[in-house]
Structure formats: structure tokens, C-alpha cells
Amino acid sequence: MLNRDPHQRRHRIAGLDRAELPGAQRHHHPDFDKMHLKGWQAAQKEAELPGDGWSKEREWALKVGLPGAESIEDKSIPTFARGELPHYAGINTFLKAPYIEDVKLVGNYDAAILGVPFDGGTTYRPGTRFGPQGVRKISALYTPYNYEMGVDLREQMTLCDAGDVFTIPANLEKSFDQITKAMSHVFSSGAMPIIIGGDHSIGFPTVRGIAECTSKNIGIIHFDRHADIQEKDLDERMHTTPWFHATNMPNVNPKNLVQIGIGGWQVPREAVVEARKRDTTIISMSDVEELGIDKVAEIALDIAWEGVDAVYMSFDIDCVDCGFVPGTGWPEPGGFLPREILSLVGKVAAEGLCGLEVVEVSPPYDTSDITSLFATRVIVDVLGTLVANGKMGAHKHIIDKPKTF
């Protein structure tokens, strides 16, 4: 035991030698150059983005919303809130995009938001019928510009909100028919459909809506904790069944179905049997940990794109660990962390998509809108990635059997 004078105290500053005490000179790493930082490169890239869209939006806001009161010094502020600002006001479309009341005009846009407020296929906690409104509400928090990507959606693409599909709460099949018709209409127009669910039973009618408009083959990349490929559940085509029925269509081969994140204690054995029969590719969370995000993306893209002309992304919010997304019907621990799944989604989307659905957001079980916010983030990241990689609109070449209504 050391003998110390109890009246003598030693002073030490954590992490510093005496030579580094105040007054001593500190040296940066000799090889450091901030120009090599992605953060600084992103700042430089912003200067290359156009600003015409923002200017036109502010002019439009003044025209339709009246110029602000005389006391307002910023003359771009209107009397009535119109457009992006302020984020806490306005009518809640997705990302404050224009609401297209006449859906026959949807083809004037690169992409269109479709809400599918349906939870008739849930087998545990309902509430996903409120998903589209929940996501739209919190999407007002975002701007159309992403710093790291160096993308501004307002300047580099056109987005509209076509509103919600009129679903029938007490009838799955009639709702499926409504969803398929809505999807076929939007896809035939040339706009890329972005679906906000709704439970995962809608995966079948959404893919059907695209498949009916083309003779080309379609692959599916499916993010989820559950396999969702059994034929029936509770004697109906519930949210555990979409890929059984989707892959029965002649131009949707189950061998091009890649299911990522599957695992845990909520995968019915009936689904596992069917996955074996159909020879789908299931990548578990253990696989993700062992292989890494880059390799998983490579495998998923190779398999989903083999022999097909387009790929559809189905993103079930419960693939993310439920500690981050509590507002869902079938929460399951052990899923993706937010940053890793966003990275994986971006790598998949970079090759192009013919459509995207984000499902199983249940606002009644959410906390501070964090689940709805994550759904918003997935959508805008996909749109931003498509823009950044020149893939926005790449799906149009497969529309060889357009539907007219």
C-alpha cells in the first residue's frame, strides 16, 4: 500500500501529458486534409445543385397564398402557408409534395405516393390503416435535400401525392382488387409507384398491379423479420401470405425473391416449408452479421436481377430492431440497426427499382412518431439514391402492356 500525504493532492487532466497542459503546443495529424472528408466533399457538392425549384415554389406561394403582412421583413413569406415552410403547418401530403386530385395527371410526375390504409390482413395488432397518414404527418419534418448524397429532390425530380386507395376494411379480396387497379394505373402512366401501407398483405396486389402491365420478368427484394410466404393464415390471404401468391404469377419467379432479415420467434413453419419448395433465397440476420452489408447487397442484387428486367422492393418496417420502431404490428427484437439497413437499402436501390412499398407502420403503437419517421427516411433515401445514380424512370422500359381505365 502506498504511503501518501493525505494533505497532498495530485492533479491530472485526462488524456493529456504534462507537456500538453495549457500553454503547450498541440499538433494535428500530419496527414490530415479536410478535403478528403466526405463531409467536406458533400458541402462542396451542394454548390453544384440548382435552385430554380425552390425559387419557383416561393414565387408560387406568394401568388396563391398572398404576400405577407407589411411587418414581415422576409418578403418570400406568404400570408397563408404554402409549400415546404413552415414545417409545422400546411396540409400533410408526403414531403409537402403536390396533391394530385385528378389521378389521370399522375403521369406528369417521376414518382407518385400512394397510401394504402389497410389492416384487414393483420393477425395480431391492428393499426396500419393509419400508417399512410402517420408517415405523411412526420414527413413534413424533412427537407427535400440530403447532405451526404448531395441530392435535392425538389430540384432533380418531380414527386406527387396521389392520396389513398379506397380500401374495404371488411373484405380483403375487394381491397386487393382496388390496390391492384391503383397500382396498374400509376405504373402504366410511367410514374414510379411509392406505396405507404398498410399491412404486408398488400404486397401481393401491389406486385400484381405491376406484373399485369408488363410481359417482362420481375424480381423482389424483401426486407422483413418474417417470411410471409405461406398460402393462407386464419383461412385468408393475410399479411403472412403475400409472396406465395405474388410468385404464382408467370412473370414473378420465386427464385428471384430475396428475403433479408428473416429470423426470430415469429416465422411460422408453414412459411419455411413453402420457402424450401419454391427455392427462395433467405438471408438471416446471422448471415448479415457474418457476411457484412456490402456482401449481402451483392448477393441480393445478383439473385433478384438474374434473368429479370426490373426489381421491386418491399420494406417491412419490422425488419428494424423493435427498439427503434415500436409502432408496428409484429415487433421482433434482433433486427437491423438503423444505419446498417439504410446503407443496405441504398446499395439495393442504386441498381434501379420499378416500385417501392413500406409496410406495417402502426401509429397507435408508435412513440414520438419514430417508426413513421423511419418509414419516411427509407422512402426519401430510395428516391435520393435513384436520382444520384441516374435510375429515376429506369423502370419505364418494361411497360409494354399499359392499362387504361
By DSSP bridging, strand 151-152 and strand 111-116 are unpaired
Distance between CA atoms of 394 and 199, rounded to whole angstroms?
Answer: 28
Q: In a structure prediction context, what are the per-residue pLDDT tens digits for the chain, which is 405 residues long?
A: 555 555 555 555 455 555 555 555 666 677 888 888 999 999 999 999 999 999 999 999 999 999 999 999 999 999 999 999 999 999 999 999 999 999 999 999 999 999 999 999 999 899 999 999 999 999 999 999 999 999 999 999 999 999 999 999 999 999 999 999 999 999 999 999 999 999 999 999 999 999 999 999 999 999 999 999 999 888 788 898 999 999 999 999 999 999 999 999 989 899 899 999 999 999 999 999 999 999 999 999 999 999 999 999 999 999 999 999 999 999 999 999 999 999 999 999 999 999 999 999 999 999 999 999 999 999 999 999 999 999 999 999 999 999 998
Grid coordinates given for 64: 396563391
Distance between CA atoms of 119 and 85, rounded to whole angstroms?
Answer: 32
Counting Cβ atoms within 10 Å, is residue 340 exposed (0-12), middle (13-18) or buried (19+)?
A: middle
Q: How far is CA 251 from CA 309, 311, 393, 401, in A?
A: 10, 12, 21, 13
Q: Strands, DSSP E only, in 72-191?
A: 111-116, 145-146, 151-152, 159-164
The CATH classification of domain 94-398, taken from the options 3.40.800.10, 3.40.50.920, 2.30.30.100, 1.10.3720.10: 3.40.800.10
Tally of CB atoms within 10 A around 40: 12
Sequence-distant (≥ 6) Cβ neighbours of residue 89 within 8 angstroms: 81
Residue 185: its H or E element: helix 172-189
* 159 strand-pairing partners: 111
